[in-house]
Amino acid sequence: MKRLIAPVLRTLIVTAVLLSLIGSLLGCGTTVSPVTTIVTGPATTVTVTPTQTAGVPATTVTVTPTQTAVAPSITTVTVSPTQTTTPKPVNPQLILATTTSTRDTGLLDVLIPMFQNQTGYQVKTVAVGSGAAIAMGQQGQADVLLVHMPDSELQLVQSGAGINRVLIMHNDFVIVGPASDPAGIKGMTDPVAAMKKIAMTQSLFVSRDDNSGTNGYELSLWAQLGNTYKGQNWYISTGQGMGATLIIASEKNGYTISDRGTYAAFQKSIASVLMVQNPAVMINPYHVIQVNPAKFSGINAAGAQAFSDFMVAPATQAVIGSYGLVTYGQALFIPDAGKTEASLGSK
Amino acid sequence: MNLIWQGIIEAFQLLIHGNREMLRIAALSLEVSLGATAVSLVLGIGAGTAIGLNKFTGRKFIISLVNTGMGLPPVVVGLVVMIFLWRGGPLGFLHILFTPIAMAIAQVIISFPIITGFTSASIQQLDSKLRFQILALGASRFQIIWLVLKETRLPLLAAVMAGFGGIISEVGASTMVGGNIMDQTRVLTTAIVMEAGKGDFGLAIALSVILMILVYAVNLLLTMIQQRNKAQ
C-alpha cells in the first residue's frame, strides 16, 4: 500500500513546488509589471520590460517617437518610476467593458498600465465588442465602457443606464476588397454610393454580423440604401472579429468594411486592397460611458469617473495621438477630447 | 503556405528567446487546470467509488446523469457559471467573476462528471467476488475502498488524464468566466484564439507548441504512474 502513496505524493509535491517556483518568479499577484514590445522595423524587436523592485511600483514606459522620412524609429525611451507610493482608492476593482479594436491595436496595453499606476485602480479589461459591452452596461455588469457604436450608445444613455458620455478619440473606416474590383468602386469617396454599387453588381460582401461597432457602421450604410443586402446570396455573415473577417474576405475575394487600424495590421497577410476611404465622412468615434450607479448596485462610480477623467487628460490624449506612429508609420487614433462629434466631420 | 512556414519559424524564435508574458500565461494555464483537476479528482473518485460500490435505488438514473455530464458542452457550463457569478446573480456577492478562481470552478464542473463516470464504470467492471474475498480476509470498509482503487489504478489514471486534457484545452468557458484579461486570467487557449484573431500567427503557433508540450509532460507523468510495474 505504501509503495503507491510515496511515488504519487512525491510527484505531486514536486509539481506543486515547481509551479510555485515558477509562479513566484513571475510575481503572481496583483502588482505585475506590463511587458511592452515595440517593433522598430521589419526585422528588429525591442522588448522593454520594466523590472519590479521592492518598494517601487511597476514603472511606466514612455515612448517618444520621431518620424523620419525613411522609416519610423524610436529615438527616446524613457523609463521613469512614478511616485513611490501608489494611491489606494477605497474600491480598487474596476470593470472596463470595451471593444476588440482597442485591445487588438494594443492601445489598451499602453493606456491601462498608465491608468493603474496613476490611480491605483485594478482594471479588469473585458474586450467583448461594442454591442456586448453596451449590453453589459445595460445590466450593470461593468463600471465603465469604452465603445464605438454611436446608435446603441445613445440608446444606452436614453435608457438611463449610461451617463456622462464623453468623446475620447476617433479613427476612420475603410472599404477593402479584391484587386480585381468587380464592383468598380476603387477610389470612390462616397461610402453609401460604393455599397450601392456592390449591391447592384452583386459582388461578394463579407459582414462581421457580430454586434460590434464596425458592424453597426456597416448596417447604418445599408440602412440608407433600404437594406437591400438582406437574404442575398452575395452577402456573407461571419459572426467573428475584424481580423478573422478580413482573412475570410481576402480568401473569398470579397469586399468588407474595416477600421483603418486593423486593416493596417493585417495588410501584409491578406490580398485585399484599399478601395474606399474618406476620413472626413467615414468617421469611427470612440466614447467613454459610465454606468449609472443610481440604477445598479455595486457600481464603482469613483473608479469609472477616474477612468473617464484619465482618458480626456492632456497627457493621455498625447499618448493616444502618437500611438501607432512607431509600428505602422501612422497614428491609429486621433485624440478628440473636448470636441463635439459634429465637428469631427469638418476636418 | 508561406505564412504557415513564417509562423513556425517565428514560433521557434520566440520559444528559444523566452518571453515573460508567454511564461506567465503558461504558468497560469497549469495552475488553474492542475488545481481544478486535483479538486475534481478528489470529488470524482469519491463519488465514483460511492456509485460503483453501493447498490441503491435510482443508481441507474444517477449513472445516466453522470454519463450525460461527461458529454456536457464546456461552453454551456461557462455560460451558466458566468450567469451565476455576475453582479446580481445568485453568487454575485462573491465577486469572483473574471478571476482564475471562476475559471477553476467552471473547469471542476466540466471534469467532475468525466472522472466520476470513468471511476464508477471501472469499479463496476471489477469482479464482484473480489470484494467478498477482501471482506473474508477481515478488511474494514476503508480498506475495501483502498484496495478496490488500487485494482482499478489503470482506468482511474486514464480518467484523470481525460479530465485534465479536457479542461486544459478548453477555451469557451475560460473566455466567458475569465475574460481573457492580460496578466490576470489569460491562459494558453484564450491567448491562442486572441492572437490568431489578431493575425499574429507566429505567436499563436508558439503558444500552441507550449500547450502541447505541457499537456504531453503532465500526461507522461501520469502515464508513468499508471504503468508502474504491478509486481513489486
Question: Has residue A288 got a pLDDT over 80?
Answer: yes
d(CA B190, CA B87): 23
d(CA A289, CA A96): 10
B100: closest chain A residue by CA: A29
Bigger pLDDT: B55 or B128? B55
pLDDT tier for residue A22 given thresholds of 50, 70 and 90:
low
CA dihedral A232, A238, A241, A246 (to 10 degrees): -70
Q: Angle A212-A305-A338 (CA atoms, 0-180°, nearest 5)?
A: 75
- Check residue B106 and give its pLDDT: 97
Per-residue pLDDT tens for A322-340?
Answer: 998 887 778 888 999 988 8
The number of angstroms, rounded, from the C-alpha of B155 to the middle of its chain's C-alpha atoms is 15
Of residues B30, B184, B199, nearest to A19 (C-beta):
B30
The Cα-based distances of B65 to A247, B70, B71, B109, B173 in angstroms read 42, 9, 10, 13, 21
pLDDT tier for residue A129 given thresholds of 50, 70 and 90:
confident
- Check residue B60 and give its pLDDT: 93
What the block records as the C-alpha cell of B89 is: 446573480
pLDDT tier for residue A6 given thresholds of 50, 70 and 90:
low
Q: Which of A280, A344, A303, A314 is nearest to A116 (CA)?
A: A303
The CATH number of B21-226 is: 1.10.3720.10
Residue with cell 524610436: A74
Collapsing DSSP to helix, strand or coil, A239 comes out as coil
Question: Has residue B101 got a pLDDT over 60?
Answer: yes
**Which of A22-26, A293-297, B1-5 is predicted with the least confidence, judged by mean pLDDT?**
A22-26
Q: How many CB atoms lie within 10 A of CB A210?
A: 20
Tell me: ipTM over 0.90.
no
Residues of A near B (CB-CB distance < 8 A)? Answer: 1, 3-4, 7-8, 11, 15, 19, 22-23, 26, 28, 32, 34-35, 47, 49, 93, 95, 100, 104, 109, 124-127, 139-141, 240-241, 243-244, 246-247, 265-266, 269, 296-298
- Pairing label, strands A283-291, A144-147: antiparallel
**Which of A116-120, A205-209, B227-231 is predicted with the least confidence, judged by mean pLDDT?**
B227-231
- Check residue A227 and give its pLDDT: 87
Average pLDDT over every residue of A182-192:
95
pLDDT tier for residue A35 given thresholds of 50, 70 and 90:
very low
- Check residue A8 and give its pLDDT: 66
Q: Which CATH superfamily is domain A172-277 in?
A: Periplasmic binding protein-like II (3.40.190.10)
Of residues B87, B225, B228, nearest to A141 (C-beta):
B87
B227: closest chain A residue by CA: A4
- Identity at A291, one-letter amino acid code: V
The answer to whether B62 contacts chain A (CB < 8 Å) is no
Residues 6+ apart with CB under 8 A from A222: A195, A228, A229
Question: Has residue A23 got a pLDDT over 70?
Answer: no
pLDDT tier for residue A63 given thresholds of 50, 70 and 90:
very low
pLDDT tier for residue B95 given thresholds of 50, 70 and 90:
confident
DSSP state of A78: E
Per-residue pLDDT tens for A88-118?
Answer: 888 899 999 999 888 888 889 999 999 999 9
**Which of A111-115, A204-208, B88-92 is predicted with the least confidence, judged by mean pLDDT?**
B88-92
What the block records as the C-alpha cell of A44 is: 528588429
Per-residue pLDDT tens for B109-136?
Answer: 999 999 999 999 998 888 778 878 888 8
Average pLDDT over every residue of B139-165:
88
- Check residue A123 and give its pLDDT: 95
**Which of A32-36, A211-215, B91-95 is predicted with the least confidence, judged by mean pLDDT?**
A32-36
- Check residue B230 and give its pLDDT: 55
Which residues of chain A neighbour B20 with C-beta distances below 8 Å?
26, 35, 49
Distance (Å) from the alpha carbon of B64 to chain A's nearest alpha carbon: 31
Question: Has residue A68 got a pLDDT over 50?
Answer: no
Question: Has residue A47 got a pLDDT over 50?
Answer: no
Contact A98, A155 (CB under 8 A): no
Contact A176, A263 (CB under 8 A): yes
Which of the following CATH numbers is that of domain A88-171+284-339: 3.40.190.10, 3.40.50.2000, 3.40.50.970, 3.40.50.360?
3.40.190.10
- Mean pLDDT (chain A) is 80
Q: Where are the domains of chain A?
A: 88-171+284-339, 172-277
pLDDT tier for residue B18 given thresholds of 50, 70 and 90:
confident
| The domains spanning A88-171+284-339 and A172-277 adopt the same CATH topology | yes
Q: Do A35 and B20 touch (CB under 8 A)?
A: yes
The answer to whether B20 contacts chain A (CB < 8 Å) is yes
- Check residue B40 and give its pLDDT: 96
Q: Do B21 and A266 touch (CB under 8 A)?
A: no
Question: Has residue A30 got a pLDDT over 80?
Answer: no
- Mean pLDDT (chain B) is 88
Buried b / exposed e across A100-119, counting CB within 10 Å, b at 16+? bbbbbbbbbbbbbbbbbbbb
pLDDT tier for residue A124 given thresholds of 50, 70 and 90:
very high
- Check residue A1 and give its pLDDT: 58
**Which of A248-262, A267-281, B197-211 is predicted with the least confidence, judged by mean pLDDT?**
B197-211
Beta strands (DSSP E) in A111-215 are 122-127, 144-147, 162-177, 205-207
What the block records as the C-alpha cell of A132 is: 456586448
The answer to whether B227 contacts chain A (CB < 8 Å) is no
Which residues of chain B neighbour A269 with C-beta distances below 8 Å?
3, 199, 201
Q: Do B98 and A126 touch (CB under 8 A)?
A: yes
Longest dimension (CA), chain B: 69
